[in-house]
Amino acid sequence: MRAPRVLAAAALLALLLAAPALAWPNDPTVNVPLCTAANAQIEPVSVPDGSGGAIVLWSDLRAGNYDLYAQRVSAAGVPQWTANGVVVCNARPAVLAPRRPRREAAG
């Protein structure tokens, strides 16, 4: 009975050692820039993209009025959409403070 336990422990250890490390930088001086456009980018919110990455939405003043922009970031920490994000809403009056969608109760 000892051999199966040792084999299982060895297999688990091998899986843990082979697990990929997070690709996102931990050092704040090398963070993943989602937007480097001029003016203010505020109120970021993020949701998982289902592939280990995220979609981030924020209010952005680059065009002189607050608009909503978004950027998808891969699990490796690489922005996937247009540099500085894509405009999601530029309707007037100005759009502020994006909100994370509420999670509906399962059932």
Instruction: For 84-102, write each residue's pLDDT tens digit.
Output: 999 999 988 776 667 766 6
CA angle, corner 86, sides to 32 and 47, nearest 5? 60
Asked whether residue 105 carries a pLDDT value surpassing 70, the answer given is no
Q: State which residues form the domain around 69.
A: 23-100
34, 48 contact by CB (below 8 A): no
When pLDDT is averaged across residues 27-35 and rounded to a whole number, the result is 82
pLDDT score of 102: 66
Residue 40 maps to a domain: yes
Residue 6 maps to a domain: no
Confidence of residue 25 (pLDDT cuts 50, 70, 90): confident
- Which are the contacts of 72, defined by CB distance < 8 A and separation ≥ 6? 49, 53, 54, 55, 56, 79, 80, 81
pLDDT score of 18: 47
Residue 61 maps to a domain: yes
Asked whether residue 37 carries a pLDDT value surpassing 90, the answer given is yes
User: What's the CA gap between 76 and 22, in Å, rounded?
Assistant: 7
41, 59 contact by CB (below 8 A): yes
pLDDT score of 16: 46
pLDDT score of 58: 94
User: What's the CA gap between 95 and 67, in Å, rounded?
Assistant: 6
Residue 7 maps to a domain: no
Residue 54 maps to a domain: yes
Nearest to 55 by CA among 33, 31, 79, 36: 79
Residue 13 maps to a domain: no
Residue 107 maps to a domain: no
Asked whether residue 43 carries a pLDDT value surpassing 70, the answer given is yes
Report the domain count for the chain.
Answer: 1
Residue 69 maps to a domain: yes
